[in-house]
Chains A and B, each alone.
Chain A
Amino acid sequence: MKKVLALILAFCMIFALTACGSKTPASTESAAPSGGTEITLWTYPIGNWGDEKTVKALTDAFTAETGIKVTVEYLTYKDGDDKVNTAITAKKTPDLVMEGPERLVSNWGANGHMVDISDLFDDTDKKEINAAALAACFNADGKAYEYPLVMTAHCMAVNYNAFVEAGADQYINKETHTWTTEQFLKAVDALYAKYGDTVGAVFCNGQGGDQGTRALVNNLYGGTFTNAEHTAYTWDDAKNIKALKTLYDQNGIAYDASIVGGDEIANFYNGIFKMAFCWNIAQQLNPNSAGNGAGKTANGDEIVFMAFPSEDGTAKLQGGIWGFGIFDNGDAAKIEASKKFIKYMCDSAKTVDAVRASNFFAARSAAEGTDLSKVWADNEVMNEYTKLMPMLGDYYQVTTNWATARTAWWNMLQKVGASDGSEAAITAAVNEFCGQANGK
C-alpha cells in the first residue's frame, strides 16, 4: 500500500511539473460554433487592438459570420518580439500576427517564417490601398507578408503655451502644422532664452521612439535614411551630418542617452520639455496615456502637433503601417482561415470597425464599396491630423539588415552626444555606425 501511494505521489509530482511547463498564454477566445476551424492571433497594442474588450467584439463578429474561432494573445512592445522569436524557435508561432512591415516583411517574412499572401491583393485592392503602404507589404521578390489595415504619420509636438510665453509661436504655422529649419532653430533659441534649460532632447537610450530622432535629423537639411531602392543605408551623407552637428551645437537641445521616446513623452507631458520628437495621433488623442483629455499637458497647456522642420517647410514624415501577416505553420486549413480573417478585417464592410479600433487611419480609400476616407469625420482631432497624411515619406523600415541598422542609429546618437561635437568626430561616429548598418 505504501509503495502504491509512493508511486501515485511520484506521478502526481511529474504531472504537476508537466503542468508547470505547459504553455497557457493569457488570452481570450471568441465564442465559436462547434466544428469550425480555430486560429490564433497575436496582436501588439496598436490602439485598441491591444484592448481585450474591443478585440473580442471584432473577433466574435468574425466568428459569428464564418464559424472560425479566434484565440487572441495580447503582446506588448516591451517583450512582444522576444515572445514571437521564442515561439519561432520553438515552432509554436500563432497563425496570425498584427504589426508593421518592419517586423512582418523585413524580419519574419525575410527569414522564411511567413506565408506569401500576395494572392489576397487583387487589382481593386492595389488601387484602393495607399501606394506607400502597399509597397511596404511586399518584399523585393514580389512576395507579400503583410496585408495593411491602418497607417499614420509620426510627427512631433510642441507646448503651445510655452511657445507663446517665449514668443516662439511666431515661428510655427498652427494651421498647416509646418515650419522651416530656420524657424525651428529660432524657436529653440527663444525657448532657451526664456527657460534656460533643455527644451527638447535627442533621446537615444534605446530604440523606443527612434523614428522621431530619425525623422528630425533627416528632415532638417533634406537627408535620407536609406536609398530609394531600400538596399543601403544613406544616413552618412553630408546633410545628415550637418543636421547632427546643428543639433549638437544648439542651446536648448541635448543628446540624452538616459531616455527613450516614452521618457521624452513623459517629460514633455509634465512640462519639462517644450517639444517632443516622438509623437503621433495616438499621443495627441491621449497624451502620455494619462487619460487627461486630448491635446493637453499635465497642467493643461495646449499641445500642437507639428510636422518636422525642413529647409523649405515641407516635411517627409515617417509612416507607421499596421496590418496582419500569417505564420507558416504548415496547416493549409488554418492558413485559409487566417486569410479569411484578414479579408474580413481589412477588406470588407466591417473594416470600418477594425480601423476605428486602431485609432489610426485606414490604409485604403475604400473596402468592398465602403468609403474609408471619412471614418473619422466625426472626430475633430483626427480630422485635423489628416493634414499630415499627405506628407508621408518613404517607408524605409523594410530595408535589409533593419534590426542592426535600428540599433546602430541610437548607438551612433550616443557617440555623437558623447563626442566633442567637432565635425570630424560626428562624421567618424556616423561612418562607423552607418557602416555597421550596411554590414561593413
Chain B
Amino acid sequence: MKQTMSPRLRRRENISGYLFLLPSLVFFLGFVVYPMVSCIYLSFTDANMDANTPTKWIWFANYVELWQDEVFLKGLWNTIIIVLVSVPVVCIFSLWVASAIHKMKEGPLSFFRIVFYLPVITGSVAVTVVWKWMYNNYYGIFNYLLKGVGVIDKNINWLGDPKYALACIILILLTTSVGQPIVLYVSALSNVDQSLVEAAEVDGATNTQVFWKIRWPQIMPTTLYILVITTINSFQCFALIQLLTSGGPNYATETIMYYIYYTAFKLYRFGYGNAMGVVLAIFIAILSAIQFRMAKEK
C-alpha cells in the first residue's frame, strides 16, 4: 500500500532539510558566489585603495589594457608553458608509476604510495624552503653535486637566471603534483575488470594491446579527473612563485596568478586584478570543457 505524507508533514520535512543545508548554503553564498559576482563587477571598475576618489565604472577598459600589458602577456605565456608541460608529464608519469606498482603486494604498494604522496601532505611552504635550499646559488646541493661530477665548473644561479628559473619552478610543481594522480591511478587500475583482461590475454593480446584496449578505456574517467585538477592546479600556481622568485628574474616566472596578487595587493589596482581573475577563470573553464568534450568523444 502506497503511503503518502500529508502536505503539512512534507513541508516540515522540507524545512528541516533546508535548515540542514543552510550552513553550507551560507558558506557557499558568502565565500563562493558573492566573491565571484563581486569579482566580475569590480573588473569593470577602477576600484583601488584611494578613499578620496569614488570608484568609477569603466566598462571594458581593464580588459583592453590587459592585452596591451606586456607583463600580463608574459605571465599568460609562462602559465601556458607550465600547463602544457606539467599536465601531460604529471598524467604520463603518474600512470607509468601506477602501472608499475599497482600489482605489487600490499606492503611495497603502500610504501610507494606513501613516497609519492608525501610531498602532497607536506606543507607547501616547507617543501618550497627545502627546494630553495637545494637550488641555492652558493651552497645548494644541485650545484654541489653537478660540480662534483664535473657537469658544471661554475655555480648556476638556478632561481636567479632567466634561463633556468621557470624550469626549476615546473620541476617542483611536478613533484608536488604527482602524488594524488598516482594514488588515483593505482585505485583505478586495481578496479579494472580482470575477466576482460584475462579473456584478452587468452585471445593472444599483447600487454600493450591489453593496456590500450582494455585498461585505458576503463580508467578514462580517472584520467579526465586528473587532467582537470592538474590543469586547474597548474593555472593557479602561486605559492611557489611567491615564495621563490616573486615572478622574476626579469618576469621569467611571472604567472597570471602571481600577477593578480601583485596588481591587487601591491599596486592596489583591485579592478584590474579582478579583470585578470575573470580572464583566468574563463581560460580554465574553456580548457576544462575541451578536456571533458574530448574524453566524452573517446
Say which residue of A17, A111, A407, A415 sits within 8 Å of B250 (CB atoms): A415
Chain B 250-279 against A: per-residue CB contact (8 Å), 1 yes, 0 no?
A: 110000000000100111101000000000
B250 touches A411 (CB 8 A): yes
- Asked if B6 lies at the interface with its beta carbon under 8 angstroms from chain A, I say no
Q: How large is the interface on A (under 10, 10 to 19, 20 to 34, 35 or more residues)?
A: 35 or more
- Of A85, A113, A407, A414, most B-chain CB atoms within 10 Å: A414
- Asked if A403 lies at the interface with its beta carbon under 8 angstroms from chain B, I say yes
Say which residue of B12, B159, B162, B267 sits within 8 Å of A404 (CB atoms): B267
- Asked if A332 lies at the interface with its beta carbon under 8 angstroms from chain B, I say no
Give the residues in chain A near B27, CB-CB below 8 Å: 17
Give the residues in chain A near B138, CB-CB below 8 Å: 198, 267, 272
Give the residues in chain B near A389, CB-CB below 8 Å: none
- Asked if A418 lies at the interface with its beta carbon under 8 angstroms from chain B, I say yes
In the complex, the number of residue pairs spanning A and B with C-beta atoms less than 8 Å apart equals 105
- Kindly state the separation between the CA atoms of A417 and B50 in the bound complex, as whole angstroms: 35
- Kindly state the separation between the CA atoms of A219 and B137 in the bound complex, as whole angstroms: 27
Query: Taking the nearest CB of chain A, how far is it from the CB of B54, in angstroms?
Result: 11
Q: How large is the interface on B (under 10, 10 to 19, 20 to 34, 35 or more residues)?
A: 35 or more
The SS class assigned to the A binding surface is helix
- Kindly state the separation between the CA atoms of A108 and B49 in the bound complex, as whole angstroms: 8
Query: Taking the nearest CB of chain A, how far is it from the CB of B248, in angstroms?
Result: 5
- Kindly state the separation between the CA atoms of A52 and B180 in the bound complex, as whole angstroms: 42
Chain A 308-322 against B: per-residue CB contact (8 Å), 1 yes, 0 no?
A: 000000000000000
- Asked if A14 lies at the interface with its beta carbon under 8 angstroms from chain B, I say yes
B160 touches A85 (CB 8 A): no
B250 touches A6 (CB 8 A): no
A 100-128 contacts with B by CB, 8 A: 107-108, 110-113
- Interface segment out of the listed B18-26, B82-90, B114-122, B217-225: B18-26
- Asked if B34 lies at the interface with its beta carbon under 8 angstroms from chain A, I say no
Give the residues in chain A near B165, CB-CB below 8 Å: 257
- Kindly state the separation between the CA atoms of A6 and B16 in the bound complex, as whole angstroms: 7
B49 touches A258 (CB 8 A): no
Given contacts A3-B12, A204-B248, A205-B160, contact A111 B52 (CB under 8 A): yes
Given contacts A112-B50, A417-B249, contact A272 B158 (CB under 8 A): no
Query: Taking the nearest CB of chain A, how far is it from the CB of B260, in angstroms?
Result: 13
The 9 closest A-B pairs by CB, nearest first: A257-B249, A258-B160, A112-B51, A10-B19, A257-B160, A258-B159, A112-B52, A206-B246, A13-B23
Using A107-B49, A418-B249 as known contacts, list a sample of 14 further A-B pairs with CB atoms less than 8 Å apart, ordered by residue number in A.
A14-B22, A110-B50, A111-B52, A205-B159, A205-B160, A205-B245, A256-B157, A257-B245, A258-B159, A258-B160, A267-B138, A407-B266, A417-B160, A417-B249
